Homo-oligomer: A and B are copies of this chain.
């Protein structure tokens, strides 16, 4: 009888507490997590955009260039983190390298707007203070991620756009360049193809981003992009939107998004991953997979995220055919492009 009562109690417990089920993890999508069990002393993950990367669409040369750039960005972040530097410094160092590399749609090599301009968006968030800064639609700031962080540190605002953001960056002595610096011929051809099809297109060479847990356990996230090929009317995507393209909260995780920005805004993707961890006790991998491979897939939103949690776990789900991605912790490291490979 006692046993029966305990069984009934247990059954009741299971049903009554099952309001927070873990979502199923889509098995065919790689969400490489640091395999070693011990907590790393630091962790960094980066992306160079989720999109239609396949072995057929990317040349051998470009494949190698991208892997080399991802490794350089990881090197820059690790150099800082190994010396006990801050998560924020590591995020900016890694993103700056990707912004300067024309293989990515951020800084030099940004996609073109309908009017054949380059308009750049970036944001930065600090998980310890939950302070944030962002710039949108800037045309002459060499490294928009630096301007985003300066907005956080040196203005009372979070988001500055256009000419005002450029004036602010100038006052902060952030390096400015002639807009022609950003132009890469291949991107202009992409625009002309998109215009021929009369539509705004998600670039196959997306956004760049970086998320970090430093040795003090602080989190930071940053994202930088040229946006969507053939975008019009001073469109701002998700990258400078805190809660959509970027989020960091020391209690949960740091997230950087890449993909069809309009969906990432509407579904508040970066904040949603944090909320699922905070309110449903999902793991980083469960939360990020639920949002990217269930919610966004159902809505029709293509893209991915990189994220790191407060224990240095890394998750990099995406629902596209590939994502330029990499991670490094005190225990392991890897980069990857295609769906059929793990980061190594």
A: which residues have CB within 8 A of B?
1-2, 5-6, 9, 12-13, 16-17, 19-20, 125, 130-132, 136-137, 155-165, 167-168, 199-200, 231-237, 241-244, 247, 261-262, 265-268, 271-272, 275-276, 279-281, 299
Flag if A243 contacts B262 (CB, 8 Å). Answer: no
What CA separation (Å) do A268 and B160 show in the bound complex?
Answer: 17
Report which of B156, B160, B268, B275 forms a contact with A234, defined as CB distance below 8 A.
Answer: B160
Q: Provide the residues of chain B in CB contact with A241, threshold 8 Å.
A: 159, 241-243
Tell me the number of copies of this protein: 2
What CA separation (Å) do A6 and B247 show in the bound complex?
Answer: 45
Q: Provide the residues of chain B in CB contact with A137, threshold 8 Å.
A: 161-162
Flag if B243 contacts A265 (CB, 8 Å). Answer: yes
Look across to chain B and name the residue whose beta carbon is closest to the beta carbon of A168.
B233
Look across to chain B and name the residue whose beta carbon is closest to the beta carbon of A264.
B158
Q: Provide the residues of chain B in CB contact with A19, threshold 8 Å.
A: 20, 281
Report which of B156, B232, B236 forms a contact with A159, defined as CB distance below 8 A.
Answer: B236
Q: Provide the residues of chain B in CB contact with A155, threshold 8 Å.
A: 232-233, 235
A180 to chain B, nearest CB (A): 21
Instruction: Take A17-B17, A168-B233 as given contacts and tell me if A158 and B266 are in contact as well, using a CB distance cutoff of 8 Å.
Output: yes
Flag if A200 contacts B272 (CB, 8 Å). Answer: no
A278 to chain B, nearest CB (A): 8
A sample of 6 inter-chain contacts (CB < 8 A) reads A158-B266, A159-B235, A162-B162, A168-B232, A243-B244, A276-B279
3 shortest A-B CB distances, which residue pairs? A164-B234, A164-B233, A243-B268
Look across to chain B and name the residue whose beta carbon is closest to the beta carbon of A10.
B9
Q: Provide the residues of chain B in CB contact with A280, threshold 8 Å.
A: 279-280
Flag if B268 contacts A279 (CB, 8 Å). Answer: no
Instruction: Take A5-B5, A268-B268, A271-B268 as given contacts and tell me if A165 and B233 are in contact as well, using a CB distance cutoff of 8 Å.
Output: yes
Flag if A130 contacts B200 (CB, 8 Å). Answer: no
Flag if A265 contacts B236 (CB, 8 Å). Answer: no
What CA separation (Å) do A157 and B121 show in the bound complex?
Answer: 15
Report which of B17, B265, B279 forms a contact with A275, defined as CB distance below 8 A.
Answer: B279
What CA separation (Å) do A261 and B241 show in the bound complex?
Answer: 13
Q: Provide the residues of chain B in CB contact with A244, threshold 8 Å.
A: 242-243
A139 to chain B, nearest CB (A): 12
Interface centre among A1, A162, A233 (most CB of B within 10 A): A233
Q: Provide the residues of chain B in CB contact with A261, threshold 8 Å.
A: 158
Flag if A199 contacts B156 (CB, 8 Å). Answer: yes
Instruction: Take A130-B266, A265-B243, A280-B279 as given contacts and tell me if A162 and B159 are in contact as well, using a CB distance cutoff of 8 Å.
Output: no
Flag if A234 contacts B161 (CB, 8 Å). Answer: yes
Instruction: Take A17-B16, A244-B243 as given contacts and tell me if A200 and B156 are in contact as well, using a CB distance cutoff of 8 Å.
Output: yes
Flag if B267 contacts A130 (CB, 8 Å). Answer: yes
Flag if A234 contacts B162 (CB, 8 Å). Answer: yes
Flag if A164 contacts B235 (CB, 8 Å). Answer: yes
Flag if B242 contacts A157 (CB, 8 Å). Answer: no
What CA separation (Å) do A13 and B233 show in the bound complex?
Answer: 56
What CA separation (Å) do A160 and B125 show in the bound complex?
Answer: 22
A122 to chain B, nearest CB (A): 14
What CA separation (Å) do A137 and B236 show in the bound complex?
Answer: 12
